[in-house]
Amino acid sequence: MKEISELNLPDDVRYSETHEWARLEGDTLRVGISDYAQDQIGDVVFVELPEAGDLFGKGEEFGSVESVKAVSELFMPVGGEILSVNADLEESPEKVNKSPYDEGWMIEVKIDDPTELDRLMTKEAYIEWLKGVE
């Protein structure tokens, strides 16, 4: 398992306390799980995602990720409507492990309230948060 210093934590995303990341791309927000989360849960074998059009509030469960260890819930970093989901993960769930911020993205969201994004953590704040978790 990775030390905090070994984690891949990009600057261009924001992080939630439940280890999701969120990246604003134009009007939409892409969401996935952080390198820390994929490293902790281990090899992902199944990702359960919502359907386009589903509505969720901030912090609500939008799906789950099953690894060889356990099933973990996925929580909305902000509230909004699901625009699309990463259908590739159905066939290739390992993308969550191999490329958590790129090919392993999970959902695209139309945000209800853009200010909610400011309440997510920056890379630096997330690293501090992880030190508290460890």
Partner 1 sequence: MKESAGTTGLILNEPLLWEKGKKGRCGFSLPRRDVEPSPPDEDLMGEGPDFPDLSEVDVVRHYTRLSQWNFGVDTGMYPLGSCTMKYNPKINEKQARLRGFSGAHPLLPADLSQGILKLMFELEGFLAQITGMDAVTLQPAAGAQGELAGMLLIHGYLKSKGRRRSKIIIPDTAHGTNPASAALCGFRPVPVKSGEQGILTPEAIIEVMDEDTAGIMVTNPNTLGLFEENIQKIAEIVHSKGGLVYCDGANMNALMGIAHMGKMGIDILHLNLHKTFSTPHGGGGPGSGPVCVRKYLKPFLPVPRVIRKDDRYSLSEDFPQSIGKLHAFYGNFGVMIKAYSYIRSMGPENLKKASQLAVLNANYIKERLKGIFHLPYDRPCMHECVFSDKFQNKQKITTLNMAKRLMDYGFHPPTIYFPLVVKGAIMIEPTETESKETLDLFIDACQAIADEAKTDPEVLRQAPTHCKVRSLDEAAAARRPCLTG
- With respect to partner 1, which residue has the nearer C-beta, 42 or 59? 42
Tokens 């993960």 appear where? 89
Q: Does 88 bind partner 1 (CB under 8 A)?
A: no
- With respect to partner 1, which residue has the nearer C-beta, 81 or 94? 94
- With respect to partner 1, which residue has the nearer C-beta, 29 or 41? 41
How many of the chain's residues bind partner 1 (CB under 8 A)?
13
Q: Does 77 bind partner 1 (CB under 8 A)?
A: no
Site string for partner 1, 56-75 (x = CB under 8 A): ----------x-xxx-----
Q: Does 104 bind partner 1 (CB under 8 A)?
A: no
- Residues 6 or more apart from 45 whose CB is under 8 A from it? 66, 67, 68, 93
Number of C-alpha atoms within 13 angstroms, CB side, residue 122?
A: 3
DSSP secondary structure, 73-131, as one string: EEE-SS-EEEEEE-THHHH-TTHHHH-TTTTT--EEEEES-GGGGGGSBPHHHHHHHHH
Interface residue list for partner 1 (CB under 8 A): 1, 40, 42-46, 66, 68-70, 93-94
